Amino acid sequence: MKASEMGITEKLSSYCQDILEFEVDTDISLVSQGVTSMKLMQLVGKIYEEFNVIVDITDLMEDVSVRTLATLLCSETSTDHDIEQQSAIETPLNEIQRTFWDMQEYSECKKAYNEGVSHLVCGDLDLDLCKQVLIRLVERQPELRTAYYVSEAKPVQRVLEMADVQDKLNIEFADFSGESEPMQAVEQAHRALYATEFDLSQPPNFRVAMWRVGPKKWVVSWVVFHIVTDWWAVDILRKEAALIYSALIKQDGREAKLSTVTPINYNIDCYGERERDEAFWQSRFEAAPAEVDLSTSRRPPIKSYKGDVHLFELTQISYADLNHVRETLSVTMSSFVFSAFNILTSAMSDETDITTGVPFLNRYQPEVQNAVGIFVNSLPIRIGVDKNSHVNDFVLSCHKELLLAYKHGRYPARSILSFQNIKTKLSRSPLYEQLFTYYDNTIVESEYAEFGITVKEIEIPRGTCKYDIAFFVTKQGNALHTKIEYTKALFSEDDITNMVNAYQEILVRIRESQAQPVGDLISDIRAQYFLNNVDEIEHSQSPALSVAE
């Protein structure tokens, strides 16, 4: 599934919730789930109201699912829109942009919010064409040439003319193919790339590097400060780059067929029904969230952003296994794996008030579906773990809470920080220190046979981490993988391995029975995996565990 569709699916599911008054399975025909044609029509009306797009389902009434609606919607929204001349206009930053603007106060933090992606490219890559592709992309995507600065004491943004940035656009090139360990050299260069402190007033606020690692083998890395865009753009840029490259290489004078991207108006209709949303978040954070510590190590007095990353495959469990359980519980896969994560954090921290960050894509306006830009809003999802409840009820309650939060997901998380009881500390973020994300098939591996190139997304350590733990679960075919970014001051590599094993154990145990009390599962997992850690100092050894990968 395309990234752009994921956000829309999220949104559509919440409309379904409103109109149909029950939770639908996004992959199954709505009619077969008992949705009446009147409700289906209301859903079409709601989509029209929100996206200004009429999705024509007349011919597929019986077969239409949330997923097909999302696909239809995406294909509709990618048509051209009028370009309104906005580039010369200076506009204030919105709340979500302010989150990243504020990070300039602490350079370690700012650097941790460099985002990006790396690819291993094999084949005859034409470097001159790559440069041209870059120029075209920056031409197309106004956000890639936006400057952020203070004007009249307020942070503002302005899209610069192409002429103002063109000279500064380049691809940084290095040849590591002669090194004995070229990938080690890449890792080092990669960390250096992520340590860039961008001067936001001087775009581009991104860097592109190409490292030659062998004959016809390149690592291409893009790093960008988060204020410019969310990870949605990775998908957009990758797709557009391929189309532009392909058009250029054919040299038939034809331009790549791409929709027009309008400069984003960040200050229009961004926050939904603000009062209603605020009331929801107020109700969730009337009291400050408990401080959840997943590590037994002493927390540094000033939050550290030095991090590492580890990847694991969950070999004891398959996607199909969990999908079966999730279906019986009628929750989404992301809710399902999220509830298991809550059990894990409760077992690790011995805490029952768990707040976790969950990124919400938040791309509402149809004209921004193909735009590079920052919309993602990481929502603090607060789960009260009732140890007497049974696993199935707990999973369902997590699912409901997620859906409710998504419903109010346009409310900028930054505003929650100013609620009365939320206190800021230097040692930790005020709402949560663990982030959880679930993706469907995001690892990209593409072959462009016509010009003999293959592109594979690869993970290279950045040396940074935004939270104590950022826990990613991804589906790759029938396998589930995890990616864990962690703060080195709090966790060792063994701690992380242990954590993943515990997570896997929780999924296995839930697969076997959903009727057990959550409290029992938590105590078992805690005893089996985490109480050892307390004794670790005495025994000075970590439990021997088999590690996948």
Partner 1 sequence: MELHSLKYEQDERLMRCFGNLDKAKSEVEFAHKKVRYFKDSLNLNNEFSNSAGLNSVPISDKSVYRKNFPAGILSEGSSLKDPYVSRLQSSGTSGERLVSVIHSFKLAERMANCLSINPAFQYLSKVPRIKTCRYAAPNCSDVECANPRSTMQDRILADGTLVLPVYHDLLTTPDSMLRMAFDELHSYEPDLWYVDPMHLSILIKKAKSEGWAFDLDRKFSVLLTYTFATRALLRQISELCAGHAPVASVMAMSEFGFVGLGCEHGNLHLNDKDYFLEFIQMEGTHPDDNLWELVITSIGDRLCPHIRYQTNDIYHLHGACDCGNSMPRVSFLGRSKDLLRLPSGKYITPGSLDEVVGAPKWIDIYQLTEQEVGAYIFRFTGNKDCFSDAEKSQLRQKLQALLETENVRVDDVNYFPFERGGKFQLIRKS
- Footprint of partner 1 (CB under 8 A): 31, 34, 36-39, 41-42, 44-45, 48-49, 52, 54, 56, 58
Tokens of 343: 């059990």
Alpha-carbon gap, residue 53 to 326, rounded angstroms: 32
User: What is the closest distance, in whole angstroms, from the C-beta atom of residue 64 to partner 1 in the complex?
Assistant: 13
SS3 at position 205: coil
Question: 49 vs 152, which CB is nearer to partner 1?
Answer: 49
Question: 167 vs 269, which CB is nearer to partner 1?
Answer: 269
User: DSSP readout, 344-373?
Assistant: HHHHHHT-SEEEEEEEE----SGGGTT---
Question: 41 vs 279, which CB is nearer to partner 1?
Answer: 41
Question: 41 vs 150, which CB is nearer to partner 1?
Answer: 41
The candidate with the shortest Cα–Cα distance to 484, out of 517, 461, 515, is: 461
Tokens of 463: 């040396």
The residues with which 307 forms a beta bridge, in sequence order, are 487
Residue with tokens 């109010």: 408
506: Cβ–Cβ under 8 A, 6 or more apart, which residues?
340, 343, 344, 347, 521, 525
User: What is the closest distance, in whole angstroms, from the C-beta atom of residue 49 to partner 1 in the complex?
Assistant: 6
User: What is the closest distance, in whole angstroms, from the C-beta atom of residue 288 to partner 1 in the complex?
Assistant: 35
Angle at 364 between CA 471 and CA 240, to 5 degrees: 75
Question: 53 vs 74, which CB is nearer to partner 1?
Answer: 53
User: DSSP readout, 411-444?
Assistant: S-HHHHTTSTT----SSS-SS-SEEEEEEES---
User: What is the closest distance, in whole angstroms, from the C-beta atom of residue 274 to partner 1 in the complex?
Assistant: 14
User: What is the closest distance, in whole angstroms, from the C-beta atom of residue 425 to partner 1 in the complex?
Assistant: 41
Question: 78 vs 297, which CB is nearer to partner 1?
Answer: 78
Phi-psi region of 415 (alpha: psi -120 to 50; beta: other; left: phi over 0): alpha
User: What is the closest distance, in whole angstroms, from the C-beta atom of residue 408 to partner 1 in the complex?
Assistant: 20
The candidate with the shortest Cα–Cα distance to 129, out of 210, 185, 75, is: 210
Question: 79 vs 328, which CB is nearer to partner 1?
Answer: 79
User: What is the closest distance, in whole angstroms, from the C-beta atom of residue 333 to partner 1 in the complex?
Assistant: 28
CA dihedral angle for residue 454, residue 455, residue 459, residue 463, rounded to 10 degrees: 120
- Output Rg (C-alpha) for the chain, integer angstroms: 24
Question: 49 vs 167, which CB is nearer to partner 1?
Answer: 49
Question: 69 vs 169, which CB is nearer to partner 1?
Answer: 69
User: What is the closest distance, in whole angstroms, from the C-beta atom of residue 54 to partner 1 in the complex?
Assistant: 6
User: What is the closest distance, in whole angstroms, from the C-beta atom of residue 118 to partner 1 in the complex?
Assistant: 42
